[in-house]
Chain A
Amino acid sequence: MLELRKDIFADERDDNLKEIGKPTQRQDMLGHVTATSVYFNDHKLQGMLHLKVLRSPHSHARIRRIDLSEAERSPGVRRIIRGADVPHNLNTLLSLINFGKDDEPTLAVDKVRYKGEPIVAVVADSQREAFEALAKIRVDYEPLPTVFDVEEALKPGAPVINETYPKNTFTYHDIYDHQKIRFGDVERGFAAADHILEQRYQMSPIEHAPTETNGSIAAPDTNGRYVVYTSTQALFFSLDTCAKILDVPSNKLHFIGGTVGGGFGGKVDTVTEPLSILGAMLTGRPVRYMIGREEEMLYCAPRGAERIFIKDGIARDGRILARQFRCLFDSGAYTRLSSYAAVKCAAHLPGPYTIPNVYAEVYCIFTNRVPATAMRGFGVTAVDFAIECQMDKLADLVGMDPMEFRLVNAYRDGDMKAHRREAKNTALIECVQVAAEKAKWRIRDDFKRMSSLKEAGGQRPTAPPPVREPILVNRSAGQQRTVYDRPAPPPPEPIRPPPPAPPPLAQPAPAPSHGAIRFSSVFGGRRR
């Protein structure tokens, strides 16, 4: 069930619109249900060849020798492509916006830095023949020591993974190995705090797993250009990346896409287009390079893992006085987009709360795993997980209700954020109030009266004394850091009755109040 609360912020909106706000059918829905929507792989071209790549079995190794003699004689093989055949065999995605150094080859030449890194591409008449040729390629590797843990990678003497960044960290502002946030004075904040809570959080890597794998079909066009059908999430981003790698004017490339079988960030990296176009250039035939599911799962870029350390100083009344972060982004063997995510993460700190003292160090670190890339919310998703778990522990520490604890610290219009910009157009408080009402989660009336608006904001309610001695031992199974403490809080005075248990689930959701508008919902027809 989805409902619109039109009564909230009504005076900031003109709701007198004709098309905006209507539940209009999707323009692409008919194509979807009739299976006539055209994805890149639905283009059938005469005499199309198939491209497959040889991938490294090692996570870190020097390439001593590549023997293609047997593979070249394999039936159906039209062309074998090596790194030397790639005009500009070194790139970094964000070079298009002048961010970072070229650090990743299209086809590995002297060294492989992650298991599954492409080394050689085979273009053949059929997929089977391409697979057979791959099996006949002989590569002589010299395995090198590997690093898979971000903290290990930072240690002096750790193996150098990506020679472009010899310290295993991305370089910010040409001088630093991390992005800084400095706001107020955290040490003074910690000194004034009643409790200090320092915790460690770990986000997992995540595979995008779109139902359509990455791929592209490139073909020589009638006018000396190349037409490229692609699953990219960013048409010109991919086009310009290919123009750079293949060293051709961008108008030699005609990219067609736009209808994509899910992406979630996994179709930005332009991993297939350069090779399918190069294959078409070298054979004069249409070439398809579609990533297999196992390849996509094991060797295509995931959302990167992040390890996050948070240290908070908090006052007995629930105000967070200081918050310190150390965020370690696992970028894998190459930069791709993790360098950008780290800055986005820094900008997001300390979360949607007003904290007078904030300190952060955000690192983009190289390890011997598949390079990480963009995914739905990256740079924010993991740190929000860490912050919100931390908020729950802090509320517990001072004996406050988690909703009310959020409201005490929530940012509002006019507050100064850690990146030194004034908060505007905020609505965190209203979201908490509405969610609490919806979930029948009782909060005190003074919290219900709060507002994000600068004028209407009123006083920040101070927390009631703890309902019980705060639990100062940490229950986490995880390898947690210390919780050390100032003198215990005063004995509890008037005790606030704990909120009642929520009603049985059988009860229907509350009828929409305040003239809320409900839309026929995906949850409408639920039958059990």
Chain B
Amino acid sequence: MAKTPLQFRHNGREVAIFVDGGMSLLSALRDEIGDHSPKFGCGQGGCGACTVLIDGEPVLSCITLAETVAGKSIETADGLKTGPELHPLQAAFMDNFAAQCGYCTPGMLMAAKALFDHNPDPSRVEVIEAISGNICRCTGYESIINAVLAAARRTERRA
């Protein structure tokens, strides 16, 4: 198959790979770069498990054509920690028992981070809107919503 060279920033690091025609960003990240933190949940843009940030905006990597991210900056759940230190969202997800099977968690975290980076003190309604594209089949969402709200309070305390 014809391969196309592709360069972008992945969690702050410059990467260069070759992609097949029509390859999704999700496949590029998982199969070419080896970042398994974005998950395949549907390939339809319907579940949010593959959510990553492109230049700070949340996208569904399964329906994003890999070639379109040339020169852009991609953040995935794998890059959330700073060194060994958990991101406030990760810590809050733990405290609130906001994961069961854990498969939606990376996408939830990135959807929440997209909100967080623009709006460090969201309302419950804003949190619900932010995760509205992400399916969780285990928790019933309440613990996730509260984790994001708690993370906001946690960051306020730090500031």
Contact = CB atoms under 8 A, between A and B. Distances in A.
Q: A and B: direct contact (Cβ < 8 Å)?
A: yes
Contacts of B31: 44
Nearest to B101: A262
Interface in A35-63: 35-39, 41-42, 44
Interface in B28-51: 31, 34, 36-37, 39-44, 46-47, 49
A522 interface: yes
A419 B49 CA distance: 46
A418 B97 CA distance: 41
Interface string A26-39: 10111111111111
Contacts of B36: 35, 38, 42, 44
Interface residues of B, number: 49
Contacts of B78: 35
Nearest to B123: A527
Interface residues of A, number: 40
B149 interface: yes
Contact of A525 (B77, B97, B150): B150
Contacts of A261: 39, 41, 101-103
Interface stretch (A205-213, A353-361, A476-484): A205-213
A264 interface: yes
A408 interface: no
Interface in A202-243: 209-213
A25 interface: yes
Nearest to A524: B146
A211 B109 contact: no
B15 interface: no
Nearest to A522: B143
B54 interface: no
Q: Please classify the interface of chain A as helix (H, G, I), strand (E, B), loop, or mixed, using the class held by over half of its residues.
A: loop
A128 interface: yes
B109 A264 contact: no
B34 to A, nearest CB: 7
A9 B106 CA distance: 42
Contact of A33 (B22, B43, B105): B105
Contacts of A36: 37
B86 A522 contact: no
A290 B40 contact: yes
Chain B CB within 10 A, most for which of A26, A32, A41, A42: A32
A337 B139 CA distance: 26
A262 B41 CA distance: 11
A122 B43 CA distance: 20
B94 A212 contact: no
Interface in A299-335: none
B46 A211 contact: no
Given A35-B37, A211-B103, A262 B146 contact: no
B61 interface: no
Contact of B41 (A28, A29, A211, A294): A211
A264 B43 contact: no
A527 B149 contact: yes
A211 B49 contact: yes
Contacts of A33: 86, 90-91, 93-94, 99, 105, 109
Given A32-B99, A522-B97, A211 B39 contact: yes
B114 interface: no
Contacts of B43: 292-293
Nearest to A76: B1
A126 B20 CA distance: 10
B49 to A, nearest CB: 6
A256 B7 CA distance: 35
B80 interface: yes
A32 B102 contact: yes
A211 B101 contact: yes
A161 to B, nearest CB: 31
Contacts of A372: none
A489 B120 CA distance: 65
Chain A CB within 10 A, most for which of B86, B93, B146: B146
Contacts of A44: 31, 34, 36
B58 to A, nearest CB: 15
A306 to B, nearest CB: 22
Nearest to A215: B40
A526 interface: yes
Contacts of B20: 126, 128
12 contacts: A25-B94, A32-B99, A33-B94, A35-B37, A126-B1, A209-B137, A210-B101, A211-B136, A212-B101, A259-B102, A522-B97, A526-B142
Given A33-B105, A209-B137, A213-B41, 16 more contacts: A33-B90, A35-B80, A39-B103, A42-B36, A211-B135, A211-B137, A261-B101, A261-B102, A293-B43, A522-B96, A522-B139, A522-B142, A524-B146, A525-B146, A527-B149, A528-B124
Task: In the A-B complex, list the 6 residue pairs whose CB atoms are closest, starting with the nearest.
Answer: A261-B103, A32-B102, A35-B37, A293-B42, A35-B77, A35-B106
